[in-house]
Amino acid sequence: MKFKQDKKTVFLDPHTQLTLSDEKLDIILSPSLYWVKKVSLPLKHARDAKKLLVSLFEDLLPEGSYSYSVYKQGEQFMIFAYEDKNILELLASQGILLSNVSSIHFAQSELDTIKGAIKINDTQSIYVKEGIVTLVPCCWIEESGDLDIADIKLSKHTLTLQQFGHIVDNKSLISIGVILSVFILLTWIELFILNKHIQTIEQESAEVFSKYHLKPTMFQNKALLKKYTKIHTNQTKMREEFSKALKIKDIKKISYKENRLKVSS
């Protein structure tokens, strides 16, 4: 029985083709997949800085649909901007299923302690400059080591990709969800009121039966009504015919039997 699934850490870079099997992955994003800034803000917590991220990157980013992330490092904040769509497309092109992705990290949060330059593909290396993991062409650095991320202990700084962020933003999705939920709630309230109304009417119907001492079934009551309606019709007819018959002169005998009036004169 398998209780714990092994996870593999991979470095996701647009210029590197990964060879993977169907396994769970922790992904480290290449610096080419995000924008990063180290800023000092008069704030205590990273969650307070989230509201400012859009304005902090204003006029710096090319046109696109960006998501933002932040974590605190010492007294400073590391702020990130990234395009979910780009990363998702790259994952898809590498044949990585989202269901196999366990976590996604920035190279900044995982590789900021590397010494010297590390080659990440045929043409590019990364190295840390003033605390920022920076991407540089290989020819800038003469001696580059190879990237070994198998033993890296990953931090808790992860990001979550918005799969449909480029189509509908989160706010719109939440608004649509809220509107749908409100409609559902209104429908349920109306349904509750309607069912109460139905119950009341059914109760009133039952009360009519007991109030007028009706028979238990409508079939019996309808049959009774039919019987008495027939009696009423016949009696009315008999009285009308009897009234007319009395105008005949010299009547010797007048009789009524089986709903027929006979006059002999």
Partner 1 sequence: MNRINPLYIGLLLVVVLLISVVQLNSSKGKLQEAKLSYKNISKLADNLVSLKKAYANKTKMEKSLRSLLRNKSLQASKMKATFKKSSVKLSSKSIDKNALNYLMGKLVNGSYHISSFEIKKLSEEKASFKMEIKW
99 contacts partner 1 (rule: CB under 8 A): yes
Task: Choose the stretch contacting partner 1; rule: CB under 8 A; options: 58-66, 117-125, 140-148, 230-238.
Answer: 230-238
What is the Cα–Cα distance from 79 to 69, expressed in whole angstroms?
6
Q: Which is nearer to partner 1, 45 or 262 (CB)?
A: 262
Determine the interface stretch with partner 1 among 70-78, 105-113, 139-147, 248-256 (rule: CB under 8 A). 248-256
Q: What residue has token string 């304005």? A: 55
Q: Does 20 bind partner 1 (CB under 8 A)?
A: no
Per rule CB under 8 A, is residue 198 in the interface with partner 1? Answer: yes
Q: Which is nearer to partner 1, 83 or 126 (CB)?
A: 83
Residues facing 71 on adjacent strands: 78
Q: Does 210 bind partner 1 (CB under 8 A)?
A: no
> How far, in whole angstroms, is CA 162 from its chain's centroid?
14
Q: Which of 133, 122, 117 is nearest to 29 (CA)?
A: 133
Q: Which of 48, 202 has the CB closer to partner 1?
A: 202
Residue 205 interacts with partner 1 (CB under 8 A): yes or no: yes
Q: Does 218 bind partner 1 (CB under 8 A)?
A: yes
Q: Which residues contact 114 (CB under 8 A, 6 or more apart)?
A: 126, 127, 128, 133
Residue numbers at the binding site for partner 1 (CB under 8 A): 98-99, 101-104, 160-161, 163-164, 170, 173, 176-177, 180-181, 183-184, 187-188, 190-191, 194-195, 197-198, 201-202, 204-205, 208-209, 211-212, 214, 218, 221-222, 224-225, 228-229, 231-232, 235, 238-239, 242-243, 251-258
